[in-house]
Amino acid sequence: MVLENKFIKVGLFAALFVSFLVSINIGVRRFNFEEQNNKVEVAVSYNAIKRLSIRGGSIETNTLLERLKKESGITSVALEEDTLEYFVNEGKVTVLKGSEIMNMYRVGHVNRYLLTHLYKQIKVKPDRFYLIIDEKSDYEQIRDFLNVEFGKDNVRRVGSLNILEVVDDRDDLMQLGLGVSKQHIKDVLALGLRPIIRLKNSNRLSTSAIKQKILSFVSEVPEATIIFEGKTVLGYPSQIEYLQEKVKDNDLKIGIVEFSSQLGDHNLAKGLPEHVLRVHSIGEDELRYMPAKKAKARYLRAAKERGIKILFVYPYFQVFEDTPIVEFNIAFIKDITEGLEVFGFEVAPVLELPVDSYHSAKKWEIFLLSLGVLTTILFLIHYYIPLSLLRTSIIYIGFILSFYACLKFNLLTSWNQAMAVMVAVLFPSLAVISQFPTEQDLIRNKGRFLSAILYFLKLLGMCMVGAFLIVGFLSDIKFVFGIERFAGVKISFILPLIFVSIYFYLRPHRITSMFFILKRLFYSPVRTVGLLAITVFFASVLVLVLRSGNYIPMPSIFLEERFRAWLEAVLLVRPRTKEFLIGYPFLLFAYMKIDKELSRQWLWFFNVIGTVALISVVNSFCHVHTPLSISIYRTVLGMLLGFVIGHIYIIVFNGLQRLFKSRTHA
């Protein structure tokens, strides 16, 4: 076989080593970028604080904002667009339908002079709405936005009065976004806080509507951050590209709320990766049933583990405690800002990102990383199929031509995604298959405890090589900011389990007869113990796949949530339970008990379950928006805990075994 050739083998190891060095260099660049990018913004909603001020005993909104800044450390205030509903509630605008005016005029009740004047100026139409506006500045703001929304021909002024006639239904008219109040912007700036602009999408979308909304704030808040309000982003579906142009022209930033389902946010962010800030928020409905302690932990976890730059904090409006509602919320937000500082974050407005100082992988670096993946593919194939020089040459040529084609057709991002998936599949599989000892290896190893430590270090070392290769392939700023995601989560969980189970079930000396053995197994009678093992295996895989990612929610088992919260409180970052409670202990049990209490006939079962830990290690680095320091810390922590808990399992097993033997003997 070609891999038994000494010179070829050395050459392949050299290629893998060079690709690893390149990946380390890329990882260092990303680590330095993350260290520079350590600001987190804590924002509150202006409208929510206004509601809180009323519930707190009619405190002035600006007074409450000032207290929040001084006592809790908020940095920013999100200003929602004015609506007709807002103007009506403030007593600045009266909205009457034509039929209401006609009825009021006939009966002769409210405001006889105004109604008579209006009624004689024009022929009132029963299906139209008439906006009676007090202030000239409010009139001009509302008129300009309605002209853009409906067109000038459909918005009519009544004589020289501050009265507008429009055609619409009431619900739509009252909720139209009419730009951000300049007075609110001035108030927030006067308090030393940073305004964040919240914009609604236009129901009658046009470039004029987008331009008008941006003009409403851009002169007062240059380089502002926008967080979109509603189920769609501004510009969806037909004007996303125009909005991208306006964002670039005005050097604005876009806040993308994680786990939200706003239509158009992904397409918008893809074209503006350098302008994106990731936002985490807990909605008012969800907050109603969530304890403050849990909400605080979730906000802090978002910042430290997922690189969130803006924490958009809604207040509690229902407080079942003796503490006054305002004091409760000030203490709640203060706990969040102090927690951020404990973790080393600077609580401050994120005015700019150090994107210019970050350099993702270059094309030649991607090529060297890819050679490392090819080498790993050859090593793994070698354990299943003999490789001749001809087969190896064909694989190499095909691989290089594929890379060239991706460069030629501008498909490098797709290539990087495919390589990352391959790495996530290859390295956990190869680590277990190549490092688990043969009978002869165990005979030579006198002390299994020390050799088990070395075994774990080898497994972790190989997985870390794969992890840093993934860091290199997914080094583009779109992955670092969470705009693009690793696309092979499910595949990377399932395929390594299949590779490992086939290899250890067939065992090395039967691997070449794989087809005939699997055929014989298919037709052989099923024993109870075998059926039980297969059932446990497939059930474990099913739960593992369903609980990976954020797509299919799974219920937590008994006390699991409390256990996780306790781990996070004690260790700062929660290690993966499937690593230290399941995966590593199974790997350790198989290593310590093989050829003693455990037959190699059952090695496939224990190593497959154990491989879950290694899959999880590599998968942690596929979440590129998680800081590297957090991923490395969590990985080392998981292995150490897994090694300790694995020995506890073995001690319990030995004790039960002795107890069973003594009772049997008696």
> pLDDT tens digit string along 158-189?
888 888 999 888 888 999 999 999 999 999 99
498, two tokens: 């299949």
One-letter identity of residue 327: E
Residues 6+ apart with CB under 8 A from 328: 292, 316, 319, 321
Distance between alpha carbon 384 and the CA centroid of its chain, in Å?
37
Query: How many alpha carbons fall within 13 Å on the CB side of residue 303?
Result: 29
Q: Which domain holds residue 184?
A: 38-81+179-353
Of 396 and 48, the one with more pLDDT: 48
CA–CA dist 480, 662 (Å, integer): 58
244, two tokens: 């991208």
Residue 530 vs residues 527, 534, 593, 605, 653: alpha-carbon distances, Å: 5, 6, 20, 10, 21
What pLDDT does residue 551 have?
41
Residue 602 vs residues 128, 316, 519, 593: alpha-carbon distances, Å: 79, 55, 19, 11
Same domain, 71 and 220: yes
Give, for 323, the enclosing helix (H) or strand (E). none
**Relative orientation angle of helices 448-473 and 412-435, to the nearest 10 degrees:** 170
What pLDDT does residue 126 have?
83
Q: Among the three residues 353, 381, 409, which one is the final residue of a domain in this structure?
A: 353
Distance between alpha carbon 483 and the CA centroid of its chain, in Å?
9
Secondary structure (3-state) at 280: strand
Q: Among the three residues 175, 193, 208, which one is the final residue of a domain in this structure?
A: 175
pLDDT surpassing 70 at residue 22: yes
Q: Convert 406-454 into a string of H (helix), E (strand) and C (coil).
A: HHHCCCHHHHHHHHHHHHHHHHHHHHHHHHCCCHHHHHHCCCHHHHHHH
Same domain, 306 and 364: no
Same domain, 400 and 467: yes
Same domain, 637 and 594: yes
What pLDDT does residue 510 have?
57
395, two tokens: 């694989």
Same domain, 538 and 395: yes
Query: How many alpha carbons fall within 13 Å on the CB side of residue 515?
Result: 1
pTM for this entry? 0.87
Segment 34-47 shows an average pLDDT of 93
Residue 90 burial (C-beta neighbours within 10 Å; 0-12, 13-18, 19+): exposed
pLDDT band at 552 (very low <50, low <70, confident <90, very high): very low
CA–CA dist 643, 442 (Å, integer): 19
224, two tokens: 């502002």
Q: Are 164 and 121 in contact (CB under 8 A)?
A: no
pLDDT surpassing 70 at residue 553: no
> pLDDT tens digit string along 632-654?
999 999 999 999 999 999 999 88
DSSP letter (8 states) at residue 625 = T
One-letter identity of residue 36: Q
Secondary structure (3-state) at 342: helix
Q: Please report, rounded to a whole number, the percentage of residues in the chain having pLDDT higher than 90.
A: 55
One-letter identity of residue 279: V
pLDDT band at 97 (very low <50, low <70, confident <90, very high): confident
440, two tokens: 């002869």
What pLDDT does residue 525 have?
62
198, two tokens: 């919240």
Residue 662 burial (C-beta neighbours within 10 Å; 0-12, 13-18, 19+): exposed
> pLDDT tens digit string along 189-200?
999 999 999 999
Q: Are 44 and 77 in contact (CB under 8 A)?
A: yes
One-letter identity of residue 112: R
Same domain, 439 and 469: yes
Residues 6+ apart with CB under 8 A from 356: none
What pLDDT does residue 229 have?
93
> pLDDT tens digit string along 52-66?
999 888 789 999 999
Segment 370-382 shows an average pLDDT of 92
Same domain, 165 and 223: no
Other Cβ atoms within 10 Å of 22 Cβ, number: 23
194-200 and 225-229 beta bridge pairing: parallel
Q: Among the three residues 336, 353, 370, which one is the final residue of a domain in this structure?
A: 353
pLDDT band at 550 (very low <50, low <70, confident <90, very high): very low
Same domain, 192 and 299: yes
Segment 109-127 shows an average pLDDT of 64
CA–CA dist 190, 37 (Å, integer): 27
CA–CA dist 17, 561 (Å, integer): 41
Segment 228-235 shows an average pLDDT of 93
Same domain, 318 and 401: no
pLDDT band at 261 (very low <50, low <70, confident <90, very high): confident
DSSP letter (8 states) at residue 474 = T
pLDDT surpassing 70 at residue 623: yes
What pLDDT does residue 184 have?
95
Average pLDDT, the chain: 86
Q: Are 663 and 344 in contact (CB under 8 A)?
A: no
DSSP letter (8 states) at residue 251 = T
Same domain, 630 and 500: yes
Same domain, 281 and 364: no
pLDDT surpassing 60 at residue 431: yes
Residues 6+ apart with CB under 8 A from 82: 141, 177, 178, 179, 180, 181
Residue 6 burial (C-beta neighbours within 10 Å; 0-12, 13-18, 19+): exposed
What pLDDT does residue 124 have?
75
Q: Please report, rounded to a whole number, the percentage of residues in the chain having pLDDT higher than 70.
A: 87
Residues 6+ apart with CB under 8 A from 324: 56
Segment 256-283 shows an average pLDDT of 92
> pLDDT tens digit string along 124-170?
778 888 898 989 999 999 999 999 988 888 899 888 888 899 988 88
> pLDDT tens digit string along 481-512?
888 888 888 899 889 998 998 888 876 655 55
Beta bridge partners of 133: 93
pLDDT band at 520 (very low <50, low <70, confident <90, very high): low
CA–CA dist 50, 63 (Å, integer): 10
Number of domains composing the chain: 3
Of 599 and 499, the one with more pLDDT: 499
Q: Which of 322, 434, 440 is nearest to 376 (CA)?
A: 434
CA–CA dist 233, 158 (Å, integer): 34
Strands of the sheet containing 163-166, edge to edge, are 93-97, 129-133, 163-166, 155-157
DSSP letter (8 states) at residue 583 = I
Secondary structure (3-state) at 126: coil
Other Cβ atoms within 10 Å of 357 Cβ, number: 11
64, two tokens: 């409450």
What pLDDT does residue 574 have?
87
Residues 6+ apart with CB under 8 A from 407: 363
Same domain, 52 and 161: no
What pLDDT does residue 541 have?
58
Q: How far does the chain reach from its first CA to its final CA, in angstroms?
A: 56
532, two tokens: 């039980």
417, two tokens: 């995604």
pLDDT band at 545 (very low <50, low <70, confident <90, very high): low
CATH of the domain at 186: 3.20.20.370
DSSP letter (8 states) at residue 348 = S
pLDDT surpassing 90 at residue 524: no
CA–CA dist 283, 280 (Å, integer): 10
> pLDDT tens digit string along 196-218?
999 999 888 889 999 999 999 99
CA–CA dist 310, 226 (Å, integer): 11
249, two tokens: 């022209």
One-letter identity of residue 42: V
Q: How many helices (H) and strands (E) does the chain have?
A: 29, 12
Segment 465-491 shows an average pLDDT of 91
